[in-house]
Structure 1
Amino acid sequence: MIQEVSDDEVQGLAYTNSHLLATRPFRGPQCLMHWIALPFVARRFRSLKRKGLLLGVQIHTVKLPFGLCGCQEENTKGNFGEIEEDSCEQNCRNAIENSNVNIQLEMPLPTSSIVVSVDEWQTVNSGRDEIGKWLLNSDNLEFIDQIGPNSFKGVHKGKRVGIEKLKGCDKGNSYEFELRKDLLELMTCGHKNILQFYGICVDENHGLCVVTKLMEGGSVNELMLKNKKLQTKEIVRIATDVAEGIKFMNDHGVAYTDLNTQRIMLDRHGNACLGDMGIVTACKSMGEAMEYETDGYRWLAPEIIAGDPENITETWMSNAYSFGMVVWEMVTGEAAYAAYSPVQAAVGIAACGLRPEIPKDCPQLLKSLMTKCWNNSPSKRPKFSEILSILLRPSNNINR
């Protein structure tokens, strides 16, 4: 029996029988529903709170970060649309692609951040010297079309750019934000599979904005909404681009955060790159809850779901798991775990080995790759060098 527990601190579902949770694998809705229907003894959650904010709940050894319970508003992304690429930009893009293998960054990458303080009149009070050339003059930035709640197409000094407003850093508010130096190195090195960062702008009307290269093809998620299922050669090409970008990051000691189809961006030719990885973030007070998208659990590795939401960090191993989920969604054209509630799916993934069912007509190359990426033991998942060798193997008989 499942019992809903309610008190002044938290609401939710609680399960015991930790042996079953730790060992029973589930592959489909029927299996998980059968598991949920079994007689369990319900007890109260342990609430993880700080300053009145719910960070998550703990079910024995499984911690569900706040937001996986459906209490975080879903983030929406806009479509950057079809924009013609001029010959200058095309030549620049080709040059970057040709020189991609020669990109070298000084190791180790810096681990610190630049903290900048802005007052309610959108005047930078501190950190201006440290942020240097990356602070763009708002007079040179033109907002053209709004393409999402916080997204715009724009122009900066004659160059078409993508503009993203940061939540909580608006006109009329004072705030602090930080710019990560390691991500700054990665997003400005010219790697073709990592979104190019141009700078930040503190605009008197729009507040704090992140300015990047304009990705005319939108996200992979938007492409899937248009075309539903992608062709195998297109899946392999996008997956290869993504793997190249993540391998480069991992080789420099950085893991990508929240890899999913909404964060993989496409240019007008269909080439993929990793979208903004949180290079600029609003500073949060101690104990403030980290944000999760409502459906973010679909791509998260079991160890990330089960970890302490205050301290858990992504690794190349969790990146490999999320990569497998991205491939599955491109193969099926569907959202994973659509039949489950967020709590059911999160518990199933973290404690029961729940994985999506791979279609029977899926090419063996991709089926084998997904299975390896979803290994419940993080250290047994393939590194991205191995993933690339699989995708680029001449014997896979897929026309890229």
Structure 2
Amino acid sequence: MEASIYGLQIIKNADLEELRELGSGTYGTVYHGKWRGTDVAIKRIKKSCFSGRSSEQERLTRDFWREAQILSNLHHPNVVAFYGVVPDGTGGTLATVTEYMVNGSLRHVLLKKDRSLDRRKKLIIAMDAAFGMEYLHSKNIVHFDLKCDNLLVNLRDPQRPICKVGDFGLSRIKRNTLVSGGVRGTLPWMAPELLNGSSSRVSEKVDVFSFGISMWEILTGEEPYENMHCGAIIGGIVKNSLRPQIPENCDPEWRKLMEECWSPEPEIRPSFTEITNRLRSMSIMLQSKGSNNLTTGHVKPNISS
């Protein structure tokens, strides 16, 4: 019924083949699978995501279909493609089917230290992510949970990595399983205005803040504030005394952009259009110089390439 209203592609459960589990979370489980021979990611949503009083269940289900409709209308080379909805999963569960990205999340790639990404590749990946975000913002969609976990990559071409923004839809539903309900996002990537109750200032600029933190992840390959407790992180972000420590040998242009992105003042943070322009000019500069490291100084020999 809903599908016809929302004009969505309906995918029959029988047409899907599950190959292996990619990960699971509060909202359900994601699989690498095939849809009529094509590689896809299948996200099966837990029944509990739609639990609650019947009025609440109806609202959540309506939200799911509405968000699926929004996602199915997004078409950009740096945004993970949304193929359709599976209404007839086992036990009446819902599932979504999206493009499959062969190397998984950027976070996963950064953790595998052997997969050393040189400066040029890091720039391309950051640029791709910024292009995807620029497109989402042009469609008035705020991601709310931008981080390297939600940036998906394909590194098959050794010359040209591909990065796409993923996992931004169904955010309301996913969050509903969390106690907070109202707050969306992941702590270290969350802008101060999301944490200090100044809700009137919450705008698409929360994604720019998260992008700044993601740039730091791409630069260092580390997780921000790894050994700190939640309370200390919240306090630090709200007081604006806490930001990840930038390596001394960081490229000055990258540093400047990153710091502007995570500025406490939303107005000071650049738009994604400005971010893409600045990353592009950094990339052009790099090509003309022929240097290959985002951090100056000692360069580890990259045997693999």
TM-score > 0.5 by shorter chain: yes
* Superposition CA RMSD, Å: 3.2
2:275 and 2:68 mapped to 1: Cα distance?
A: 23
* Pair 341,382 (structure 1): closer, same or farther in 2 beyond 3 Å: same
* Pair 186,283 (structure 1): closer, same or farther in 2 beyond 3 Å: closer
User: Residue 23 of structure 2 corresponds to which residue in structure 1?
Assistant: 148
* Pair 258,218 (structure 1): closer, same or farther in 2 beyond 3 Å: same
One-letter code aligned to 1:231:
D
Per-residue CA shift, 1:227-250, capped at 9, x if unaligned? 276322121111100110111111
The higher-RCO structure (CA 8 Å, 6+ apart) is 1
- In terms of fraction of residues, the more strand-rich structure is 1
User: Residue 50 of structure 1 corresponds to which residue in structure 2?
Assistant: none
User: Residue 323 of structure 1 corresponds to which residue in structure 2?
Assistant: 211
Preserved contact between residue 186 and residue 249 of structure 1 (Cα < 8 Å):
no
Q: Tell me whether 1:207 sits opposite 2:207 in the alignment.
A: no
One-letter code aligned to 1:374:
W
Number of aligned residues = 271
Q: Tell me whether 1:164 sits opposite 2:43 in the alignment.
A: yes
Instruction: Tell me the CA shift for residue 188 of structure 1.
Output: 3.8
User: Residue 371 of structure 1 corresponds to which residue in structure 2?
Assistant: 259
User: Residue 102 of structure 1 corresponds to which residue in structure 2?
Assistant: none
* Pair 304,281 (structure 1): closer, same or farther in 2 beyond 3 Å: closer
Instruction: Tell me the CA shift for residue 147 of structure 1.
Output: 2.4
Pairing partner for 1:276 from 142, 151, 167: 167
User: Residue 296 of structure 2 corresponds to which residue in structure 1?
Assistant: none
* Pair 216,179 (structure 1): closer, same or farther in 2 beyond 3 Å: same
User: Residue 196 of structure 1 corresponds to which residue in structure 2?
Assistant: 81
Preserved contact between residue 144 and residue 154 of structure 1 (Cα < 8 Å):
yes
User: Residue 135 of structure 2 corresponds to which residue in structure 1?
Assistant: 248
* Pair 280,297 (structure 1): closer, same or farther in 2 beyond 3 Å: closer
Pairing partner for 1:225 from 105, 111, 132: 111
Instruction: Tell me the CA shift for residue 284 of structure 1.
Output: 9.1
Preserved contact between residue 106 and residue 152 of structure 2 (Cα < 8 Å):
yes
Preserved contact between residue 242 and residue 273 of structure 1 (Cα < 8 Å):
yes
* Pair 283,230 (structure 1): closer, same or farther in 2 beyond 3 Å: closer
User: Residue 306 of structure 1 corresponds to which residue in structure 2?
Assistant: 196
1:235 and 1:314 mapped to 2: Cα distance?
A: 29
Instruction: Tell me the CA shift for residue 375 of structure 1.
Output: 1.4
Structure 1 counterpart SS, 2:141: coil
TM-score (norm 1): 0.60
One-letter code aligned to 2:108:
E
Identity of paired residues, percent?
26
Instruction: Tell me the CA shift for residue 153 of structure 1.
Output: 1.2
- In terms of fraction of residues, the more helix-rich structure is 2
Structure 1 counterpart SS, 2:248: coil
One-letter code aligned to 1:324:
G
User: Residue 99 of structure 1 corresponds to which residue in structure 2?
Assistant: none
1:159 and 1:386 mapped to 2: Cα distance?
A: 36
1:217 and 1:334 mapped to 2: Cα distance?
A: 18
* Pair 299,171 (structure 1): closer, same or farther in 2 beyond 3 Å: closer
Instruction: Tell me the CA shift for residue 214 of structure 1.
Output: 0.7
1:265 and 1:359 mapped to 2: Cα distance?
A: 25
Alignment of 1:113-132 (within 5 A): 127-132=2-7
2:265 and 2:174 mapped to 1: Cα distance?
A: 34
Preserved contact between residue 253 and residue 282 of structure 2 (Cα < 8 Å):
no
Preserved contact between residue 152 and residue 162 of structure 1 (Cα < 8 Å):
yes
1:155 and 1:132 mapped to 2: Cα distance?
A: 23
Q: Tell me whether 1:388 sits opposite 2:276 in the alignment.
A: yes
1:207 and 1:136 mapped to 2: Cα distance?
A: 13
**What are structure 1's unaligned runs of at least 5 residues?**
1-125
2:211 and 2:10 mapped to 1: Cα distance?
A: 33
Structure 2 counterpart SS, 1:328: helix
1:283 and 1:274 mapped to 2: Cα distance?
A: 17
One-letter code aligned to 2:264:
N
Alignment of 1:171-182 (within 5 A): 176=58, 177=61, 178-179=63-64, 181=66
**Larger radius of gyration between Structure 1 and Structure 2:** 1
1:253 and 1:298 mapped to 2: Cα distance?
A: 24
Instruction: Tell me the CA shift for residue 157 of structure 1.
Output: 2.0
2:222 and 2:68 mapped to 1: Cα distance?
A: 31
Per-residue CA shift, 1:275-300, capped at 9, x if unaligned? 02124764999x9742879x921111
Preserved contact between residue 9 and residue 84 of structure 2 (Cα < 8 Å):
yes
1:128 and 1:247 mapped to 2: Cα distance?
A: 29
User: Residue 259 of structure 1 corresponds to which residue in structure 2?
Assistant: 146
